Chains A and B, each alone.
Chain A
Amino acid sequence: MFEFAIFFFFAAVAVIFALVVVLHHNPVVGALSLVASFFALAVMYVLLEAPFLAALQVIVYAGAIMVLFLFVIMLLNLQHQPEEPTRPVQQFLGYTSSATFLIGLVYYIVKYAAFTALPAGPFNSDAGLIGAEIFQAYIFPFEMVSILLLAAIVGALLLSSRSVGARAQ
């Protein structure tokens, strides 16, 4: 019974703060609302018996990626940029198409996603088990992701250094 209360509360939090991200004009408020939404999603992961992923979600997404977003917004002083309102035709098309998309998705989920009962017993998703799986079956993607992160770091450093821009001028 408590699980349903927690689910509804945090689902509402996630959806409301996601709406704030999309609708508010100030990107700093949007970034902080996204952090709150990610935190609510981490609670969802705990409800889905994956506490390791919940901790990872908070550490990686809410604790690192969003800090990066906030840094960029604050260092470039982006909150003072006046954002021109979107043209009405783009707004109308955007809202209606995403609403249609949502209605279609929910309809198909409710109609077709009737699952069999959950398997009995707890879901063993310990850090140890996930680690064992990663280092045995998924070792190649693991190493590839580390090389990808290296490429991302080098790329980010090169792209954001000012000398590139000055030379292009």
Chain B
Amino acid sequence: MRPRYISTSRGAWEIGLIFSQTGRLANVGTSQLEGAILAIDEINAAGGINGLPLSPVIRDDGSDPQRFLYLSDLMLREEVINIVFGGSSPEARRTAAPMFEHRNGLLFYSGLGDGFDFSPNVFCFGLLPNQACGRVLREACRAEAKETFVLHRDDLLSRGLGDCLAREIERMGGTILGEATVSDQPADIATALARLEVSHAAVVFLMMGGSDAGAILKALQSGGRRPKVIAFATCEKDLAPLAGAAVGVLTVSTYCSAVASPVAEAFNARFTRRYGRAASPDVFCEASYCAVCLFALSLRHTGSVETDVIGDAIPGMSLHGPQGQVTMDPESNAAALWPRVLRWGPDSRFEIVVESDRAMMPDPFLIAHSDGGPF
């Protein structure tokens, strides 16, 4: 059976964009929105798809997974839109996925993945734990990662990354001297940092981005010792306001403006033209851009926006994204991506420390116990 419930009677291919433009995940969501809009503008400027433009319907979930569920449900039920680009956290994706399965919509998720999940109605474009905690991380900090400390939030991303990271640290011959959970409360951060100080760890892993990471980095700078910091889930928008406090911070990511390839350079130039001279695209922007481009490719091939048609077409599809060749793995509905370790420089830009020489396979269920093989 082929339910079809997007209408082109309004003279456009309507798609939903539901990101966290406000709240804790605003940096992630705003970047995702910028990437999606950039892709849509480019596609429409080139004549649209089969003669019709893409028309985005934009909503803000305020960093609340329940609000994301509510808005996407409304979009599927009342606004006759079955293709949604959205979700700025694993919580949002997990909360909404059953609804997308029930109503047979498609969710293109471009936030970071926490693994141990599969849905025929969800495609993931962000790094999974096995891709983030893989070979590139090992190469970047094998020498120092002997005595480590892990700061995490009580959330899905921390839990998903935590398992992979612990194994990776062991593989590097290191030990975890201590762990602490951090919430939004300043008192919490102070307690966690006191424990970190006592542990004398040389390397700290931060499992969170946004303002939490900012507060911790600032506090670390005012402390006496400065351990090496590897912050997962962070991006340019998080670090730029911190000035000196963020210099030297490492992250694992798929994209920054330092990626050198003709596709990436052209992408950076188009982004700057669209959003202004000071702006540069980050990992979430690029992931969301790739998601829209891959959808557009499948729509062009099939000429249909029926959920079942697009849902069948996308697995196995591939495109030359700014980060490199991005391929949707049909086994996991997650993309094979290009992990890179980046370092925040004094010029408030990321530089590339280590990059993979090939796309890394997603392994959401950690079956291959791997850092991702070649695609």
Answer yes or no: do A and B interact.
Answer: no
- Show the binding face of A for B, using Cβ within 8 Å: none
- Show the binding face of B for A, using Cβ within 8 Å: none
